[in-house]
Every structure is written in structure tokens, then in C-alpha cells.
Amino acid sequence: MKLVVSGSSGLVGRALVPFLQAGGHTVRRLVRDSGVAEDLTWRPDRGEIDGRGFAGIDAVVHLAGEPIAQARWSAERKALLRDSRVVGTRLLAATLAHRPDPPKVLLCASAIGFYGDRGDEWLTETSALGHGYLADVCREWEAAASPAVERGIRVVHLRFGVVLSPHGGALQRMLPPFRLGLGGRIGHGRQWLSWIALEDGVGVIAKVLADESLRGPVNVVTPSPVTNAEFTRTLGRALSRPTLLPMPGLVARLAFGEMADELLLASQRVRPSKLEQTGFRFGWPELEGALRHLLGG
């Protein structure tokens, strides 16, 4: 299979590209700047993309987007987060739709932020759109792929939960304080966290590429979400460290502003219903086993 992958320098992309290449696939990266002849270039903010480079491509995996949790959300930051997802997806989808030989499938990253803060409610791909900034971004993000859908391309929206890896993302940022015994639950700790180990996330992408029955939203999470308090205790056990220093919700809001309510205190109890229906088998379905594997315990 010949593929194009955007966001290849991100947490998932860095694992996905070598995985695909090891499987015998040809991968071309879609990047802003590169000295590598095989790479395709684009500048979504300028509406520029190397459309000719998509000739003969079977599938596109679109993972590009500014990291959500890097900085406090100012108005400018929120606009950048939105535009890096919506504008890029719209440009890519339109480019593919106008090709005489479009790829058979376009996988676009999205997020379970689509569902908003939903308490203890079980959420599946058929659950309604939630409320809040991230829900609005996800709605626009997914809608931006409409030109590809209308062209008849099989489009899948990968609604990622928290991707766990010691080499990036939320877990990497948590490890230093937890290893010092300074970790603890956030807020009341009853909010649900839906997660997936990085290896399983890559496996889901491979499954979705191969399974033509999958289209539309697909929740990329394990069947075993945990509360924030349970995650905290489990990470502490995996590191053999106490977890006695909670961060009250008020402190989180003072430190992180709106991002605290949208990311740290929001509750999303998500089930991967479509993956379960296909019989997909997770390598690391339970949190403690996943953390011990990821951390070498």
C-alpha cells in the first residue's frame, strides 16, 4: 500500500510511520519543510499543498494539529489550535476530492473532546455532540473532511482518547512529579479518563486502514476507562510511589484556566463500540498492565 501521513513528527505519527514501513508499505510524509525527496510539502495557513504528489496514493492518514496541552489557552492560542486542525483538514480533503485518482480512504485524527463533559454517561460513536470549546473544534474538524466524503472517499474520524506513552503526551508530563512522589488526583478525582496505549493506537489505525466496513467516527480508546483517582493510584503503584498530593479543582483552574475544565476536570467515559463490533483485540486493555509495559515494570 502507498500512503501519505501528515503529523508524522507527533506522538502517534512517530510510531505509525516506522510501523507501516516495517509492514512493507510505502510512506510519504506530508510536512511543512523537508529536504527529503520523498516527502510532500504543504503550508495549510497559506492554502498551499503539493497536490501532484498524491498520484497513485492508496490511503492518507491525517494526524496534523498543534498540541492541545502545551500552553495556557489565550484567544490567540485557541484560534491556532482550531485553525491547525480545521484549515489543514479542509485543504487536504478538497485536494483529494479534486484528484482524478483519489485515494480509497482518508483517516483523519479527531478526539473524544467531541463529546464534552458528560459525567458518568457511557459514550459511543452514536452519542450526541457535547458542549464547550473542544467539542466545537472537533465538530468543525470532522466537518472539514466533507469534500472527501462527497467525492466517495471512505473517511474515518479517529476520535482519540488520551494516548499513553512515556515518550510524549500526557503520561510523559506526569512522570517527573509522580516519580518524586508528588503526584495526586486532580479535583474530586471522579471524572472519567478514556485512554489507549500508543501501540494499540497504532494497531487501531492499521485495522481501520484494512477494514472497509469502518467509516465515520471511530473511538480510539480501550474498553476500560478509569476515573482520575484510579489512574492516579495505578500510576503510583506502577512507579512504587505514593500519590498523596491532590490538586484541587480551584488550583487547577487558577494554573491552567479554561484548559483545566476542558482537559483535566472533564469526564468522558467512552466505549470503542465500532472496534468491539469488528472483534479488534487490544494488546493492553487494562490500565495497570499497560502502564507496567510502557514503563518497563
For 88-102, write each residue's pLDDT tens digit. Answer: 999 999 999 999 999
Could you report the per-residue pLDDT of 38-85, keeping only the tens digit for each? 899 999 999 999 999 999 999 999 999 999 987 789 999 999 999 999
Instruction: Kindly tell me if the per-residue pLDDT of 37 is higher than 80.
Output: no
Gap between the Cα atoms of 51 and 29, Å rounded:
13
**Mean pLDDT, residues 244-248 taken together:** 92
- Which residues constitute the domain of residue 27? 2-294
Query: Residue 16 belongs to a domain with what CATH number?
Result: 3.40.50.720
Gap between the Cα atoms of 155 and 9, Å rounded:
22
Q: How many CB atoms lie within 10 A of CB 70?
A: 11
The residues pairing with 28 across neighbouring beta strands, listed in sequence order, are: 4
Could you report the per-residue pLDDT of 199-219, keeping only the tens digit for each? 999 999 999 999 999 999 999
Q: Give the pLDDT of residue 48.
A: 95
Cα 180 to Cα 16, 109, 177, 211, 232: the distances in Å are: 32, 34, 5, 44, 14
Instruction: Kindly tell me if the per-residue pLDDT of 9 is higher than 70.
Output: yes
What is the residue-averaged pLDDT of the chain? 95
Q: How many domains is the chain partitioned into structurally? A: 1
Q: Give the pLDDT of residue 38.
A: 84
**Mean pLDDT, residues 272-295 taken together:** 97
Supply the pTM of this predicted model. 0.96
**Mean pLDDT, residues 140-169 taken together:** 97
Q: Where residue 297 falls among pLDDT bands split at 50, 70, 90? A: low
Report long-range pairs for 205-209 (Cβ below 8 Å, ≥24 apart). Answer: 205/12, 205/16, 205/61, 205/107, 205/158, 206/19, 206/20, 206/23, 207/275, 207/278, 207/280, 208/107, 208/156, 208/158, 209/1, 209/3, 209/59, 209/61, 209/105, 209/107
